[in-house]
Amino acid sequence: MDAYTGFAEVYDMFMDNIPYEKWCGYLTSLLSEYGIGDGLVLDLGCGTGTVTELLAAGGYDMIGVDISPDMLQIALEKRERSGLPILYLQQDMREFELYGTVRAVVSICDSMNYILDKEDLIHVFSLVNNYLDPGGIFIFDLNTEYKFREVLGSSTIAETRDESSFIWENDYDGKERINEYDLTLFVRQEGDLYRKFEETHFERAYSVEEIKDALSMAGMEFLAVYDAFTRDAPKDTSERIYVVAREHGKKRNGE
């Protein structure tokens, strides 16, 4: 799993079109619907901490886990400015460890698509189940195969800003169901000098049935799947879906 390196420096700049407040509002509405209005929450694959900060500002006690030290450095700078008591841990989500259990785990911005092997995905789900409180909730999103095949496909996206530019080339392998992102970045250092970064990222498409099966094999209870930002069932043309699952196997107090 490749870590963000050069892209971390300009990630927030190029993601400024993402309505994070809206995404977080949808996420918190799901958490509240399943009884998680406060308490300790893990943001798995937290990146630069934008959603982690929003959840912390909304009253949750937050832990953020990400594999990239460059992304986490930016998250730490945000924490310093906000003063919010967020714990950040640099860990691979396939091997993450916590000091105890949490009420909920969230993972958005298609972090789960970065798990390319189904056995690894099952293992991640098992770790989530292990670190959730009895009856705890797991909410994550996924890019769909439709998006990889029909929207991204073999497209090339380019954008130029004053401080940086990027070329983003997509190549979707329908047989393996893996999308390859080749990123070329030019980041201004000083004056008119730019530094070039090249990164390659991979995401895998999973069907809803594969996700249900992986959750079951990990011992979790599947609860719901939604077309993103709605309470509707996914459509054939859904580009992003949200999945809700529950911890299974631990006994609640009094049981």
Task: Tell me how crowded residue 164 is: count the other CB atoms within 10 A of its CB.
Answer: 20
Query: Does position 114 have pLDDT exceeding 80, yes or no?
Result: yes
- Going 240 to 102 to 87 to 27, the CA torsion angle's sign is positive
**Scanning the structure block, which residue is given the tokens 């509405």?**
29
* Type of residue at 165: S
Distance CA 88, CA 70 (A): 12
pLDDT at 157: 87
Report how far residue 137's alpha carbon sits from residue 235's, in angstroms, rounded to the nearest whole number: 24
Sign of the torsion formed by the C-alpha atoms of 205, 211, 213 and 214: positive
pLDDT at 252 over 60: yes
Q: How confident is the model at residue 195 (pLDDT cuts 50, 70, 90)?
A: confident
Q: Which residue has the tokens 């945000």?
A: 78
**Ranges of H-type helices in the chain:** 6-14, 20-33, 50-57, 69-82, 118-131, 145-146, 208-217
**Which sign, positive or negative, has the C-alpha torsion 239, 33, 125, 140?**
positive
The pLDDT, as a whole number, for residue 189 is 81
pLDDT reading at 59 higher than 70: yes
Q: What is the mean pLDDT of residues 125-130?
A: 98
Query: What mean pLDDT is predicted for residues 17-21?
Result: 82
Band of the pLDDT at 17, cuts 50, 70, 90? low
C-alpha span between 225 and 241 (Å, rounded): 7
Q: In the chain, what are the domains?
A: 16-143+207-246 (3.40.50.150), 147-204 (2.20.25.110)
Q: Are strands 164-173 and 178-190 parallel, antiparallel or unpaired?
A: antiparallel
Q: How confident is the model at residue 1 (pLDDT cuts 50, 70, 90)?
A: very low
Residue 131 CB neighbour total at 10 angstroms: 21
Q: Is 124 helix (H, G, I), strand (E, B) or coil?
A: helix
pLDDT in the model for residue 18: 78
Greater model confidence, 178 or 165: 178
Distances from the Cα of 125 to the Cαs of 91, 214, 239, 246, 248, in angstroms?
15, 8, 22, 11, 11
- pLDDT value for 161: 79
204, pLDDT greater than 50: yes
pLDDT mean across residues, the chain: 91
Among 23, 25, 29, 28, residue whose Cα is nearest residue 47: 23
Whether 117 contacts 210, CB under 8 Å: no
